[in-house]
Amino acid sequence: IDRARQVLEQIWPFLESEHDLDAAFAERAAALADLMAKETFFVDLAAIEAHTTALEDEYRRRHQEASNVCAAAYANALVQLQQAPEWQQLSHEQQQQVARTLSKRAQLDESMKKQISLLRAETDACQSCLDKAIAEMLQLVDGQRVVRVNISSYFVGGIETASELQEGLDQLRNECLQLIEQGKKVWLQ
């Protein structure tokens, strides 16, 4: 009964918001709510158990999927970080420091402590975490020489013509050349 209440209060509201949820789960949740509302709910314990288990299983499946996608994204980001030429210039301690967030998030959440929405948000943030790790690595290797240049700032509003492309590339090239002349190492983002 407690599991059924938890499913209706916590799991079902999440599942209900999923755009690709099979309608059969909505039917199960409605049936479970109806059974739980009856004064004679104890007569239908087998049906309550079946609906509860089906909804829990769907949540677990989605959680496992989100956890797998998140872990794979961070494992891939960790490989990208370690393939950077500067990686080998770091000490073992520096490598651990730089890769800490990526390594931590590359682990599967088998405990189901993290909500699916958090796992998905972490997956969305993977590129940003990788960029931050690369920036930290470059800072450790090259110090204050490293300057980030945001490529998209040269193409605000998109590119519709060859002349717009050329103008943006020329501006980007000029900024990079100026920074290089100042002894900076340019990191394009």
**Cα(138)–Cα(121) distance, rounded to whole angstroms?**
26
185 three-class SS: strand
pLDDT at 43: 80
- Tell me the average pLDDT of the chain: 92
The answer to whether residue 48 scores a pLDDT higher than 90 is: yes
pLDDT at 147: 86
The answer to whether residue 52 scores a pLDDT higher than 90 is: yes
Other CB atoms closer than 10 Å to residue 101's CB: what's the count? 20
**Cα(136)–Cα(76) distance, rounded to whole angstroms?**
18
Q: Which of 4-13, 136-145, 163-172 has the lowest mean pLDDT?
A: 136-145
Mean pLDDT of 158-187: 93
Percent of the chain past pLDDT 70, that is, above it, reads 100
Mean pLDDT of 19-45: 91
**Cα(168)–Cα(105) distance, rounded to whole angstroms?**
36
Q: What is the reported pTM?
A: 0.76
pLDDT at 53: 97
The answer to whether residue 110 scores a pLDDT higher than 90 is: no
Mean pLDDT of 93-98: 96
Mean pLDDT of 120-127: 96
Query: Using 50, 70 and 90 to split pLDDT, how confident is the model at 148?
Result: confident
Name 95's Cβ contacts closer than 8 Å, sequence gap at least 6.
82, 87
